[in-house]
Amino acid sequence: MMTNENVKQILNSMLDKLADIEHERWSHWQSYLHSCGKPQPDGSLVLPADLVKKWSEQINTRYEDLSEAEKESDRAQVRKYLPLIAEAFSDAKPLHG
């Protein structure tokens, strides 16, 4: 049986690899976000009001209340983490008690 402490150790050992996936996800989102904006002479971006409205609504919506398409978008992002997590747990040595 795997203890809570073992799970914590496994997850902590994956921290930088998970952070790398998160940075890739964030970078992809920021690239998309920047592509939606209109560059200003001072280097700032102006985002279209309709996208700001849509994203503000999503920010203020609990996951369970999202549309199925929005949920699937979030699931697709989480699926990027699962192979690393599965690999870490499959490599874990079983405990004998």
pTM for the whole thing? 0.76
Report residue 33 as tokens.
Answer: 């976000």
| Confidence at residue 69, expressed as pLDDT on a 0 to 100 scale | 96
Q: Is it the case that residue 87 has pLDDT exceeding 70?
A: yes
Q: Which two tokens stand for residue 78?
A: 């989480």
Alpha carbon of 29 to those of 7, 33, 72, 77, 92: distances in Å? 30, 6, 16, 11, 33
